[in-house]
Amino acid sequence: MRYEYTPTNVCSRKIFIDINDDGTIENVEFLGGCNGNLKGIGQLVKGMNVEDVIKRLDGITCGMKNTSCPAQLADALKELL
């Protein structure tokens, strides 16, 4: 199933998430933001359980911001649950 999330307070403008029926992540794509880093995050979470990704990425900050693209991915996944 494919989901679309609009992050807030970060450089990326959209996050597209594909979740398998078994609750694992099939694919993550960010629109905007730091291209290479966000492609890397997408590859690292591929095949992981949604809840495990949330635990790892929730609360990560970026510079002086109280959030980050990884944290926004965790927020998107929390919303999906």
According to the model, what pLDDT value does residue 42 have?
Answer: 98
35 confidence band (pLDDT: 50, 70, 90): very high
According to the model, what pLDDT value does residue 80 have?
Answer: 93
Q: Are 32 and 22 in contact (CB under 8 A)?
A: no
How do residues 46-71 score in pLDDT, each as one tens digit?
999 999 999 999 999 999 999 999 99
2 confidence band (pLDDT: 50, 70, 90): very high
Q: In whole angstroms, what is the distance from residue 20 CA to residue 53 CA? A: 14
According to the model, what pLDDT value does residue 26 have?
Answer: 98
